[in-house]
Structure 1
C-alpha cells in the first residue's frame, strides 16, 4: 500500500510526462521570467460548445504562436500559459471565483500558517463587496488576478461586453490592492481571440492550469487532496475555488495537501512576469 508521500513522488513523475508540452511561465520572485507557449495539453477542443448553466468545465484553449506586441505592451497570445518554470520543484496554487467571506479567510489563514503565496482570480461582483479580503491578499503577498465581473462564457459575448467584464473587475482590484491585475483567467477556461487581445490591452497575461481539482463538484475532501498530490510535479498550476458554491471541502482539503506538498520538497510560490 502506497504512503501519501510515495504517492506524491509517483504522481509527480507522471504529471511531468503528461504536461511536459504545456506552456511555461516563470515562478518565484527572484528568477527572471520567460514565458514560452508550446504544444497543447490534453483536453477538449477550443470549439466545443458549452452550456451557460455549466458552472465549471475542463479547460478550453486555442493554440498557436504568440503575436509580437509593440514595445512596452503586453504580448498578445493565442493560448494561455499553463505551467511555471523555476528553480527546483516549483508549483502554483490558484483559487477562482472569490472572494467569499465564508471560505476565503480560512484559505488565507492556512496559507499564512505555512508562509505560502498563492493566486486568487477574483470576480468583480464578489470582490466589490469584499475589498477587505483583496487588501488582505495583497498584504500577505498573494497575487490577485482578473476572472471577469460575473463569470460569463466569454465566447458568447461581444468584444465590448468582454472588455466591460474585464475593465470593471480591474478597477475594483486596483482600488483595493493599489495596482491593477496583471493576470487574467477566462471563466470555464473558454478563451477566444477577443479575450486574449483585450486582456493584453489591459496589461494582463492569460493563465490557465495544469491540474484541475474539480472541487466544484464537491467530490470529498480526500478526493480533492488526492488529485493535487497525485498531480504534483515541477511547474504545475493547480486550480481550486474559494467561492461559487459550498467550498468547505476545498478549505479542508488545502489543510491536508499543502503540508504534504511542502514536506515533499515543493516550493509553492507565485509567478513573476515581464513586459515585452
Structure 2
C-alpha cells in the first residue's frame, strides 16, 4: 500500500506542478472543476444516492460552479466568489464542533441527506473559486504551487510524525489512525514550507512572518477537512470515497485537505500585514 501511494504521488505531483505553472487560469479552473464534479459523484454515496439522483447532484454542482465562474468578473458590492469562499470557511469552522462530538447529534442534524448535500455543494464549489482566484492573482501560478506544497507538507509531516512518535489519538471516533503528535508535526512542516514559499514569493519582515502563521493555520484547517470527510465516510460505512487514485482512494480521499484549506488560504491572504 505504501509503495503504491508513493508511486502515485511521484506521478501526480510533478504533473500537478507543471500544469499549474504552464497552463492558463481557465484550464486550471476547468481541470479542478472536473475533479470537484467527480468529488460530487462520490459525495452522493455519503447519503446512499442511486445513479440518477447522484447525476442530478453532480449537475447541480456544475451549475453552481458555472454561476460563480460566470459572475466573478462582474462589479458587485460583494462578489459571488467571496460569498462561496466565505460560506465554506464558516462551514469548516463549524465542522470542528461536529467532529469533536461525533456521532452525537449527527443523525438529527447534518446527517440528514438534504443537509449533507447542501454542505457538499458549498464544500465542492468554494475550492474551485479559491484555486481560480489564486492562479489569477498577481503572483499567480507560483502562489498556487506554494499553497499546494504547504498542504502536501502538512500531510507528509503529519504522516511521518504520526508513524514515528504518535501516541495520543486525536479524534478516535472519527479517524482512529490520527494522533495529536501527527497533527503537530504537520503544522510544523507547513510553517517551515510556508517560510520557504514566502521567501520564494519575495515576502520579508512582518508579511513573511504572517505568511508562516497562515501556513500553520492552513495545516490545522486541512486536518479539519480530512477529518470532516472521514466523518461523512464513517457515517456512510465507507472506507474510501472512491478508487480513482491507486493507493489513495477517490478524489475526496486525496483532496479532502484542499477542500478546507483553499478557501481559508484565500481568506488569510487578505489578512496578511503589509510588507516592510
Q: TM-score, normalised by structure 2?
A: 0.26
Larger Rg: 2
Q: TM-score, normalised by structure 1?
A: 0.26
The one of the two structures with greater contact order (alpha-carbon pairs below 8 A, sep at least 6) is 1
